[in-house]
Amino acid sequence: MKAKLALENGTILTGEAFGAEGETTGEVVFNTSMSGYQEIFTDPSYTGQIVTMTYPLIGNYGINVDDVESPKPQVAGVIVKEYFDFHSNFRASESLGSWLKRHNIVAVQGLDTRMITKMLRTFGAMRGILSTGDMDDQRLMMKVKGSPEMTGLDLTRVVSCKEPYKWDKVNKTQFLLKPLTNGSTNCQRFKVVAYDCGIKQNIMRRLTSYGCDVTVVPALHPAEEVLAMNPDGIFVSNGPGDPAAVRKAIENLKTLIGKRPIFGICLGHQLLALAFNAKTYKLKFGHRGGNHPVKNLLTQKIEITSQNHGFAVDPETLDKKTLEVTHVNLNDGTNEGFRHNKLPIFSVQYHPEASPGPHDSDYLFSYFMEMMRTGAPVVVNN
C-alpha cells in the first residue's frame, strides 16, 4: 500500500506503508539513534510528532514486552528508509509493523530519510502529514497548514496520569544499583513524589534501583497535596510540548522551591527554569538521539547523552546570583543543566536514565540521593 508524506514547505514524498492505514498529522522531527526504536516510539515526549529515524534499517530485532517507556506507542507517525519485517531476536514477541498496526500508528518506508533530515536541519522542524488514503497533493497540503503548531501547546494534559499511583514494577533487565557519590552502599530508602509530565518508565526503574519508593502524581497535582505526602524529594519528569504553556506546573514548582530537594529532567528542567523566572525558546530542529556530547562544567568531563527535546532554556536569563550552569551541549553550546547555589535543586536537559543507553550520566541519580540524605546541595569533587 502506498503512503504519502507532505511537509508544510511543499515537499511531497511517496513511499510504502507498513503500519496502520489512515492519516496522521504532527511535527516532523528526526532521531539519530542507531537502536532503541521501541523505547523511542513509546516515549511520551514524542506525543504529537512524526519521527524520522536516520539509521537506515529499522525493525530487525522486532518488539518485546519489556523495552517500553509507556504502555503504548506515543508517536504520531513513523518514517524510515527501510523496514525489516523478518525480525531476529529471542526476546521479540512480534514485528514492529504488526505492533504499530495494532496500535493504529501510521508508518512509511522507502523515503529518503537522509534528504528529509538535511531539510529539517536547514529549514527547522515542520508540520507534516502521513496518509495512506488521501493521495491528492493539494488536499494534503491544506490539512498540513491547518494542523496545530507545537509552540504554545500544553501536551502534558494528554500524556499525564489522571490519579496518583505507586510505582512497584521491576524490570529484570535493569542494571545494578550503584553506590552514592560518597562511595557508600547506604541502603536508606527515600520517599519520592514524581510529577508525571510524560514520564519514561526507566526513570522510575532507576529511582527504585537507587532505593526510592516512588509515588507518581499528575503534572498539575497541587503543590500543597505533594507536601502533605511528606516526601524526601520531588522529581519533575520529561514530557512533550511547549514548557511555557504548562503554567499551573510552573506555579506549583514555585511553591515547592525551598521545601524539598528537587531533581528535573528534560521538560522538568525547563519547568524548573521557568519557575525561577528564566525563559525558554524553541530550537530550530531539536536534539533527539543517543549520541549527544555534553560537558559537565563541575567535573570537566564529557558525557555522551540521550536526548529528546525541541525547546531549551536560555542560560542568559538564569539568575546568576542563585543559579549556576552545570552542563553545556558541545554541538551547539545550548544549556544542558543548572543547579541552585544554596538549595538542593538541580536539573538537566538530557536523559540520564537513557533507556536504552548510553549510561554515562546515571550518576545524576546518586546526586539526587545525596541531596535527600543531607538536605543540602551536592558537593562535587573533580
Active site includes 351?
yes
Q: Is residue 381 part of a domain?
A: no
Domain extent for 237: 156-374
> What is the CA angle 352-355-361, rounded to 5?
20
**Length of the chain in residues, anyone?**
382
Provide φ and ψ at 257, rounded to 5°: -60, 125
Query: Where is the domain boundary, 145, 175, 207?
Result: 145
Do residues 37 and 137 share a domain?
yes
Which residue type sits at 244? Answer: A
In tens, the pLDDT along 305-336 reads 999 999 999 999 999 999 999 999 999 999 99
Do residues 141 and 162 share a domain?
no
pLDDT at 186: 52
Q: Is residue 150 part of a domain?
A: no
Of 27, 303, 353, 370, catalytic: 353
Which residues in 232-248 are b (16+ Cβ under 10 Å) and which e? bbbbbbbbbbbbbbbee
Separation CA 204–CA 215 (nearest Å): 9
Do residues 24 and 104 share a domain?
yes
Do residues 136 and 161 share a domain?
no
Q: Is residue 382 part of a domain?
A: no
How many Cβ atoms are within 10 Å of 16's Cβ, its own excluded? 14
Of 27, 197, 221, 266, catalytic: 266
Residue 51: which CATH number? Answer: 3.50.30.20
> What is the CA angle 364-362-55, rounded to 5?
130
pLDDT at 380: 79
Q: Is residue 379 part of a domain?
A: no
pLDDT at 176: 39
Domain count, the chain: 2
Active site includes 266?
yes
Do residues 198 and 299 share a domain?
yes
Provide φ and ψ at 79, rounded to 5°: -125, 125
- Nearest by Cα to 30 from 284, 267, 243, 265: 284
Do residues 163 and 134 share a domain?
no
Q: Is residue 25 part of a domain?
A: yes
Which residues in 269-293 are b (16+ Cβ under 10 Å) and which e? bbbbbbbbebebebeebbbbbbebe
Do residues 221 and 357 share a domain?
yes
Q: In the chain, which stretches have pLDDT less than 70?
A: 170-187, 381-382
Do residues 34 and 160 share a domain?
no
Separation CA 289–CA 268 (nearest Å): 19
Contact (Cβ atoms closer than 8 angstroms) between residue 285 and residue 31: no
- For the chain, the straight-line distance linking the first and the last C-alpha, in angstroms and rounded, comes to 57
Separation CA 198–CA 157 (nearest Å): 9
Query: Where is the domain boundary, 126, 145, 164?
Result: 145
pLDDT at 187: 61
Separation CA 205–CA 195 (nearest Å): 15
Provide φ and ψ at 359, rounded to 5°: -110, 20
Q: For residue 327, what are the β-bridge partners?
A: 296, 337
DSSP 1-23: -EEEEEETTS-EEEEEE-S-SSE
Query: Where is the domain boundary, 145, 172, 195?
Result: 145
Question: What letter does residue 249 receive in the DSSP assignment?
Answer: H
Provide φ and ψ at 295, rounded to 5°: -100, 125
Contact (Cβ atoms closer than 8 angstroms) between residue 234 and residue 192: yes
Do residues 61 and 40 share a domain?
yes
Residues 6+ apart with CB under 8 A from 358: 290, 291, 304, 305, 306
Separation CA 151–CA 165 (nearest Å): 30
Active site includes 197?
no
Number of H helices, E strands in the chain: 10, 19
Residue 322: which CATH number? Answer: 3.40.50.880
Do residues 71 and 105 share a domain?
yes
> Cell triple for residue 129?
502529514
Do residues 368 and 337 share a domain?
yes
Do residues 127 and 216 share a domain?
no
Of 221, 269, 327, 351, catalytic: 351
